[in-house]
């Protein structure tokens, strides 16, 4: 058969070259991949190509006025797509020239970029350290009343099945929809524990304990009935109109829990006072001093029921107020059994650290956690445990972040960095049974949960399932892309990942690029193990355990049919592990961009 050679679509050829190049440059930045500016060094090569093609500078200047800076992708896209003589000349004569110049000067290849190589030596005889599974023992969820739904409880059981899930935290246990506080016609309070009991019974029946967030304000007790958070269910954020009535509410609530479940059980719970009082979730003015007043009352109320109960705060956003909070509590003799705060990977350094340092998405959470840990260490209460009671890769709905395979390496790297810094990490949230912005409109919208609507596991769910296999002892290695652990049964468990920024940011979904980031090849040598020990290897990447690929192939239906939902659940499953053996105590593993690998090596 004769081979037919088709002419190259030269404008498209240059455009693909530019897109591929700009994509790599953006992703090599330490920030997110949403900046389309081209570094000036590379810009010179691009401009030289157009100069050589005879595209006049005046024409380029005019195009720059229309399309933005000449240091932008849009400018060159317009140059390529325009019908000017100069641009056609570039397309006709210099398509290959520009592409080859980019290849020569900037390292762009249309073929798969060669894999990066990392060598790791694992000294099994070295002193290992404890590796408690601090990242998988607590999760956040949608508000309290949602825990009565069957879909919530199904998702809770699904996450419990693959993690060491012990505690759940949610908002709104005092919201009027739970029905706890009522007033008669004379303004006298009464308490109805029907939904409270159903909520907590349901958790305990599934072997999950509450991490009780005290809040928000019952409307009848609020100093301002109209001061509400801009959520779909409008929680009231105002201080109480009477601290006498607030104290009575808290004491009755906690005393009922102890009476129903027993102090031996409830002493293992946590009571956290409010949620993010430093931002829009607390209406007291000034915020800090009025929150401290709320905390003082609430902590004393809880301890008045039984001194064994654990209470803490300040539950702030952006790792704020911890030093001030501990100084206040110490000076006033207020009990603090744990410190809690929140941080998200897209919080800014200015808000969290008070600096303009460019901190990438995979570093922010643990940088903030270290700040809090340092503040605790410098305080008079330096032994208090630290719980990061909310964290995630984004505090907004970003489909390319929380729905995608990006979460595998991001979660693994967060575990690596935060080990020894926090006592508990609470991922926000375990499920997309969640209604802060209203009823879910489509399964994959960038929700926070590990499980999407209708019980469809996301890649993040699979990441937690894989990391659950890690051992209880950590082996020291020199790598920022790996964890090596030992299990009590003697199995060596290794996590490897290839972190790359998300394919897109914001609430608009961006499909994965045609040319992915480079793979990474790990060359691992295990010192002191059986030379031909058997191995099992699990993969989470674009082609393994990735439901989004199937959802894209379906055309991303807003309301999948029942058959499509079942198909998506099947696509979400992790494949069975690959089985192989070490070769003279060594192995090589290639991990694609945004991939996570988990290896078990038998003793």
**Biggest alpha carbon–alpha carbon distance for the chain:** 95
324 Cβ contact partners less than 8 Å away, ≥ 6 residues apart: 288
Distance CA 391, CA 394 (A): 8
Distance CA 304, CA 282 (A): 25
Q: Taking 50 as the threshold, does the pLDDT of residue 81 lie above it?
A: no
- Reading the block at residue 270, the tokens are 């946590």
HEC secondary structure over 473-498: EEECCCCCCEEEEECCCCCEEEEEEC
Give the pLDDT confidence of 534-585 residue by residue, as tens digits: 999 999 999 999 999 999 999 999 999 999 999 999 999 999 999 999 999 9
User: Among all residues, which ones are annotated catalytic?
Assistant: 276, 390
**What's the whole-number mean pLDDT along residues 243-272?**
98
**What's the whole-number mean pLDDT along residues 116-122?**
93
Q: What is the pTM of this model?
A: 0.81
DSSP state of 335: -
Domain with CATH 3.20.20.80 in the chain: 130-483
β-strand 586-591 against 482-486: which pairing, if any?
unpaired
486 pairs with which residues across the strands? 473, 492
Q: What is the pLDDT of residue 210?
A: 98
Distance CA 37, CA 56 (A): 22
DSSP state of 557: -
Rounded to 5 degrees, what angle do the CA atoms 33, 37, 43 make? 130
Give the pLDDT confidence of 388-434 residue by residue, as tens digits: 999 999 999 999 999 999 999 999 999 999 999 999 999 999 999 99
Q: How many helices (H) and strands (E) does the chain have?
A: 19, 22
Distance CA 108, CA 469 (A): 38
Instruction: Please give the distance of CA 393 from its chain centroid, rounded to a whole number.
Output: 3
Q: What is the pLDDT of residue 101?
A: 44
Give the pLDDT confidence of 85-110 residue by residue, as tens digits: 444 444 444 344 444 444 444 444 34
Q: Taking 70 as the threshold, does the pLDDT of residue 70 lie above it?
A: no
CATH number among 3.40.50.170, 3.20.20.80, 1.20.1050.10, 2.60.40.3120, domain 130-483: 3.20.20.80
- 323-350 burial string, b = 16+ CB within 10 Å, else e? eebbebbeeeebbbbbbbbbbbbbbebe
Ordered alpha helix ranges (H), 53-94: 57-67, 73-81, 85-93
HEC secondary structure over 448-477: CCCEEHHHEECHHHHHHHHHCCCCCEEECC
Q: Taking 60 as the threshold, does the pLDDT of residue 441 lie above it?
A: yes
Neighbours of 566 (CB within 10 A): 13
Give the pLDDT confidence of 179-188 residue by residue, as tens digits: 999 999 888 9
Give the pLDDT confidence of 449-476 residue by residue, as tens digits: 999 999 999 999 999 999 999 999 999 9
Cβ atoms of residues 199 and 176 within 8 Å: no
Torsion angle in degrees (nearest 10) through CA of 296, 297, 302, 308: 30
As to burial, measured by CB atoms within 10 angstroms (0-12 exposed, 13-18 middle, 19+ buried), residue 207 is exposed
Confidence class of residue 125 from pLDDT cuts 50, 70 and 90? confident
**Peptide bond connecting 429 to the previous residue in cis, omega within 30 degrees of 0:** yes
Give the pLDDT confidence of 324-340 residue by residue, as tens digits: 999 999 999 999 999 99
**Peptide bond connecting 109 to the previous residue in cis, omega within 30 degrees of 0:** no
Cβ atoms of residues 310 and 269 within 8 Å: yes
**What's the whole-number mean pLDDT along residues 126-151?**
95
- Compute CA distances 211 → 203, 269, 426, whole Å: 11, 6, 10
Distance CA 481, CA 589 (A): 13
Q: Taking 80 as the threshold, does the pLDDT of residue 204 lie above it?
A: yes
Distance CA 312, CA 337 (A): 5
Q: Taking 70 as the threshold, does the pLDDT of residue 27 lie above it?
A: no
Query: For the chain, what is the mean pLDDT?
Result: 86
Distance CA 83, CA 73 (A): 18
Cβ atoms of residues 249 and 286 within 8 Å: no
**What's the whole-number mean pLDDT along residues 50-78?**
41
Distance CA 17, CA 543 (A): 25
Confidence class of residue 113 from pLDDT cuts 50, 70 and 90? low
Sign of CA dihedral 599, 117, 42, 103: negative
Confidence class of residue 515 from pLDDT cuts 50, 70 and 90? confident
- Compute CA distances 248 → 269, 305, 449, whole Å: 21, 11, 35
**What's the whole-number mean pLDDT along residues 482-501?**
96
DSSP state of 590: E
Q: What percent of the chain has pLDDT over 90?
A: 77
Give the pLDDT confidence of 360-370 residue by residue, as tens digits: 999 999 999 99
Give the pLDDT confidence of 295-309 residue by residue, as tens digits: 999 999 999 999 999
């Amino acid at each position: 058969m004769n081979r037919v050679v088709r002419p190259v679509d030269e404008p498209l050829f240059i455009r693909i070259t530019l897109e591929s190049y700009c994509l790599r440059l953006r992703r090599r930045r330490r920030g997110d991949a949403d900046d389309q500016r081209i570094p000036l060094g590379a810009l010179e090569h691009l401009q030289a190509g157009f100069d050589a093609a005879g595209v006049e500078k005046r024409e380029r200047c005019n195009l720059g006025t229309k399309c933005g800076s000449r240091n932008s992708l849009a400018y060159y896209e317009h140059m390529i797509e325009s019908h000017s003589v100069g641009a056609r000349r570039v397309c006709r004569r210099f398509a290959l020239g520009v592409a080859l110049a980019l290849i020569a000067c900037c390292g762009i290849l249309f073929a798969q970029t060669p894999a990066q190589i990392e060598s790791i030596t694992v000294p099994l005889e070295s002193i290992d350290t404890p590796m408690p599974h601090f990242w998988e023992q607590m999760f956040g969820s949608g508000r309290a009343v949602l825990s009565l739904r069957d879909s919530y409880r199904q998702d809770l059981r699904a996450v419990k099945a693959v993690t060491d899930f012990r505690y759940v935290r949610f908002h709104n246990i005092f919201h009027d929809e739970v029905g706890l506080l009522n007033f008669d016609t004379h303004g006298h309070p009464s308490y109805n524990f029907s939904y409270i009991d159903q909520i907590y019974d349901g958790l305990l029946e599934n072997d999950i304990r509450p991490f009780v967030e005290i809040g928000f304000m019952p409307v009848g007790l609020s100093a301002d009935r109209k001061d509400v958070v801009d959520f779909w269910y409008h929680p009231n954020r105002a201080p109480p109109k009477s601290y006498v009535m607030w104290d009575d509410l808290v004491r009755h609530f906690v005393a009922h829990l102890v009476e129903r479940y027993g102090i031996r059980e409830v002493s293992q719970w946590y009571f956290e006072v409010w949620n993010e009082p430093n931002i829009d979730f607390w209406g007291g003015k000034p915020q800090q001093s009025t929150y401290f007043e709320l905390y003082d009352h609430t902590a004393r109320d809880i301890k008045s029921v039984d001194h064994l109960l654990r209470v803490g705060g300040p539950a702030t956003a952006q790792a704020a107020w911890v030093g001030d909070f501990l100084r206040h509590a110490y000076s006033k003799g207020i009990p603090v059994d744990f410190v809690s705060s929140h941080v998200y990977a897209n919080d800014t350094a200015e808000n969290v650290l008070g600096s303009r340092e460019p901190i990438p998405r995979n570093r922010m959470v643990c940088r903030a956690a270290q700040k809090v840990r340092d503040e605790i260490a410098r305080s008079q209460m330096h032994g208090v445990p630290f719980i990061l009671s909310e964290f995630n890769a984004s505090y907004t709905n970003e489909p390319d972040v929380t729905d995608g395979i990006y979460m595998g390496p991001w979660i693994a790297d967060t575990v690596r960095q935060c080990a020894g810094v926090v006592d508990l990490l609470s991922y926000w949230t375990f499920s997309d049974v969640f209604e802060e912005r209203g009823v879910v409109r489509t399964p994959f919208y960038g929700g926070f949960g590990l499980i999407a609507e209708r019980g469809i596991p996301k890649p993040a769910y699979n990441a937690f399932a894989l990391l659950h296999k890690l051992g209880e002892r950590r082996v020291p290695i020199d790598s920022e892309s790996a964890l090596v652990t030992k299990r009590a049964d003697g199995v060596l468990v290794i996590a490897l990942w290839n972190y790359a920024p998300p394919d897109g940011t914001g609430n608009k979904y961006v499909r994965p690029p045609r040319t992915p980031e480079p793979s990474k090849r790990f060359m691992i040598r295990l010192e002191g193990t059986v030379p031909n020990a058997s191995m099992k290897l699990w993969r989470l990447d674009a082609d393994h355990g990735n439901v989004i690929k199937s959802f894209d192939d379906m055309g991303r239906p807003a309301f999948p049919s029942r058959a499509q939902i079942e198909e998506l659940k099947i696509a979400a499953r992790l494949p069975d592990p690959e089985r192989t053996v070490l070769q003279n105590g060594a192995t090589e593993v290639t991990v694609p961009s945004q991939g996570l690998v988990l290896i078990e090596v038998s003793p």
